[in-house]
Amino acid sequence: MKPKLKTCLLTILLLGVMQAARAQTISRPDTYNYTMGVEALRNNNPEEALEYLNKELEDNPDNGYALAWIAFVRNYHGEYGRALTAADLAVRKIPAEDKEYRAFAYEVRAEAHVALGENEKALADLTSAAGETPDDVEVYGKRADLYCYMGKYDLAEKDYRKIISIDPDNVLGYMGIGLIANVEKRYEDAIELFDYVTELAPEYSSGYSFRAESYIGLRRYEEAVEDIARALAVGYDDKAFSLMQEVPDSAMAPLVEKLRMQSAENPGDGYWPYCLGAVYEAQGAYRTAIACYMDSQKNAPSPVTAYRISNCYSETGDFTSALKHIDFAIALDSTDYGYVMAKADLLYESGDVEAAISELDRYVAHYPEFYGGYYRRGFYKDNSRDVDGAIEDYTMSITLEPMWAYAYLGRGDMYSLKGDSVAAAEDYRKVVELDTIPGNGSCAQYAWLGLGQKDKAVDFMNKVIENDPDNAGNYYDAACLYSRMGESDKALGFLKTAFEKGYRRFAHIEMDDDLGEIKQRPEYKDLILQYRKVLESEIEEMKTRDGLSFITGRPSFAGAMVGNIPGSKIVRLVL
């Protein structure tokens, strides 16, 4: 939970006001290094601030004020242990009469405790901060937020009501109580509170977006769409952006029309066609989503939009176009290695495993402590027959994240290939221990089979499909499972269904050992040939639309949904 520097600046300005108000009664540091350190924070330069503040401590080791700011900067950099050390000293060394700064030191220490998962200690510090400054609504807001996170809604509501008692016009208190009402599904109560928030602060976008959530809870979708559109227009609201991708089909047409109107009224603003793209992508209408994102790129080239276009092409199986756009995203922002990971996946899906592993080498070198990079590289090696290399990467992934079931499954499969049945069984047992809820992305069905429990494998796979019968990836998983079992006819049937529902990962299919049982069957070869031709046709159709403007073309939403290709699970988009 890294703080934003703008919060730091606000805090400095507030404390500056406090200092002026209390200058006659409280003596605060005015030494050169301390003053320059605080000035550097005002200028959003935490590194320079830390340098000055450390110099101040060399000269004045008992300066609790400098220690408090050092703790703040340590939090900003994610150095929470060092932040705690500095904050502990600050609390002891700031004079008892300077309640504002003592409260600040407690708040900084609380933030470090939260980041380290020490929530009870954080609550104790926030309570101490409230004791120092009993009229500071921000302290109660922070404590209430933490209570909410911990599920202690009754205590959170008390703090939100305390805020209202101190400042009846403060929207934070009403918003907090409304949020709790939403969590408890008391939607009518929540709407009443959010109504008041929108009266108090009509330009505060969260009032509309949280009220939209209440309306969705009551299935009053027309009103929800109105609030979503208003929240987006008022403040490019992230919650509204997320909610707009979750409204049901019955409310989608009016939502799209409102987004179109905004786009027409703001022709130079790339945000609105981006929103349209996100809505269509979430619905699986990738062709229309691409056209929208293209419009957004014309107005405001963005690596995020380029990534979204790449993802849509990937979902349709056009990995050549997907690679072109992910390269554009990297060209616009070479510092975001998430795009490097995405490119590696696309290279793998297009059949260039060696290049994919090379990209993952770059990613792992940049994020050596992230388990996902090792897992993904292990997966590539796994499917390119580098058994020992895959085991090495899977093991590192497990070391960094012992709760990631897929790494155990991959390593178990590799041990099985090497003939080490004991090690394989141990990993398979770990998979079924971790992966207990059937759903998209589950893998326990393979582990059950590896443990020789075919009935449990089939039952688990059936439940995965029942939970999301439109997900093409689930049917592909079933094809792999039945192929592993040696039941070729069922495997071919599930593979055909996967293709019918939009599965287009032909390079992965070619490399996937799981389908070894059926790859020599004429029916398999016919299916691959048939759906490769379907893919080629889809890509050609896409290319004719690639440069078209969605806004000028105005295709209907219903028309865009014809030929919808739902692929694997779509990640929700948040700007």
Angle at 46 between CA 45 and CA 52, to 5 degrees: 100
- pLDDT tens for 380-438 read 999 888 999 999 999 999 999 999 999 999 999 999 999 999 999 999 999 999 999 99
Cβ-proximal residues to 275 (8 Å cutoff; 6+ apart), any chain: 232, 241, 244, 259, 262
Q: Copy the structure tokens of residue 400.
A: 């960094």
Is residue 455 one of the residues assigned to a domain?
no
Is residue 523 one of the residues assigned to a domain?
no
Contact 277, 286 (CB under 8 A): no
Contact 132, 110 (CB under 8 A): no
- Supply the mean pLDDT for the chain: 88
The pLDDT score that the predictor gives to residue 508 is 83
Whole-angstrom Cα distance, residue 60 to residue 66?
9
Is residue 277 one of the residues assigned to a domain?
no
- pLDDT tens for 191-223 read 999 999 999 999 999 999 999 999 999 999 999
Contact 361, 377 (CB under 8 A): yes
The pLDDT score that the predictor gives to residue 157 is 97
Cβ contacts of 319-326, under 8 Å, gap ≥ 24: 319/346, 319/349, 319/350, 319/507, 320/350, 321/539, 321/542, 321/543, 321/546, 322/346, 323/347, 323/350
- pLDDT tens for 328-351 read 999 999 999 999 999 999 999 898
DSSP assignment string, 401-468: -TT-HHHHHHHHHHHHHTT-HHHHHHHHHHHHHH--S--TT--HHHHHHHTT-HHHHHHHHHHHHHH-
The pLDDT score that the predictor gives to residue 59 is 95
Q: From 286, 323, 281, select the one nearest 306 (Cα to Cα).
A: 323
Instruction: Decide if pLDDT at 1 tops 50.
Output: no
Count, residues in the chain: 575
Q: From 471, 526, 478, 530, select the one nearest 501 (Cα to Cα).
A: 471
CATH at residue 61: 1.25.40.10
Cβ-proximal residues to 44 (8 Å cutoff; 6+ apart), any chain: 5, 8, 9
Q: Copy the structure tokens of residue 67.
A: 């220690």
Whole-angstrom Cα distance, residue 273 to residue 444?
40
The pLDDT score that the predictor gives to residue 544 is 54
Instruction: Decide if pLDDT at 575 tops 60.
Output: no
Is residue 94 one of the residues assigned to a domain?
yes
Contact 475, 501 (CB under 8 A): yes
Contact 110, 84 (CB under 8 A): no
The pLDDT score that the predictor gives to residue 250 is 86
Is residue 574 one of the residues assigned to a domain?
no
Helix extents (H) in 221-352: 221-235, 238-243, 249-265, 271-282, 286-299, 303-316, 319-332, 337-349
Is residue 511 very low, low, confident or very high in pLDDT (cuts 50, 70, 90)? confident
Whole-angstrom Cα distance, residue 117 to residue 128?
19
The pLDDT score that the predictor gives to residue 513 is 83
Whole-angstrom Cα distance, residue 122 to residue 102?
15
Is residue 282 one of the residues assigned to a domain?
no
Is residue 28 one of the residues assigned to a domain?
yes
State mean pLDDT over 29-58.
Answer: 95
Cβ-proximal residues to 296 (8 Å cutoff; 6+ apart), any chain: 270, 271, 272, 273, 274, 277, 302, 305
- pLDDT tens for 87-119 read 999 999 999 999 999 999 999 999 999 999 999
Domain count, the chain: 1
Cα-based distances in Å from 253 to 225, 248, 454: 10, 10, 46
State mean pLDDT over 543-554.
Answer: 39
- pLDDT tens for 221-252 read 999 999 999 999 999 999 999 999 888 888 88
The pLDDT score that the predictor gives to residue 566 is 21
Instruction: Decide if pLDDT at 569 tops 90.
Output: no
Percent of the chain with pLDDT over 90: 78
DSSP assignment string, 161-182: HHHHHH-TT-HHHHHHHHHHHH
Q: Domain of residue 18: give its range.
A: 1-134
Q: Which of 96-105, 259-268, 541-550 has the lowest mean pLDDT?
A: 541-550
Is residue 510 very low, low, confident or very high in pLDDT (cuts 50, 70, 90)? confident
Location of structure tokens 């990467």:
393
Give burial (CB, 10 Å; 0-12/13-18/19+) of 492. Answer: buried
Is residue 535 very low, low, confident or very high in pLDDT (cuts 50, 70, 90)? confident
The pLDDT score that the predictor gives to residue 284 is 82
Cβ-proximal residues to 118 (8 Å cutoff; 6+ apart), any chain: none
**What percent helix, strand, coil does the chain show, rounded to 5?**
75, 0, 25
Contact 522, 557 (CB under 8 A): no
Is residue 156 very low, low, confident or very high in pLDDT (cuts 50, 70, 90)? very high
Contact 375, 404 (CB under 8 A): yes
Task: Give the number of other CB atoms < 10 A from CB of residue 67.
Answer: 26
Location of structure tokens 């108000």:
21
Is residue 401 one of the residues assigned to a domain?
no
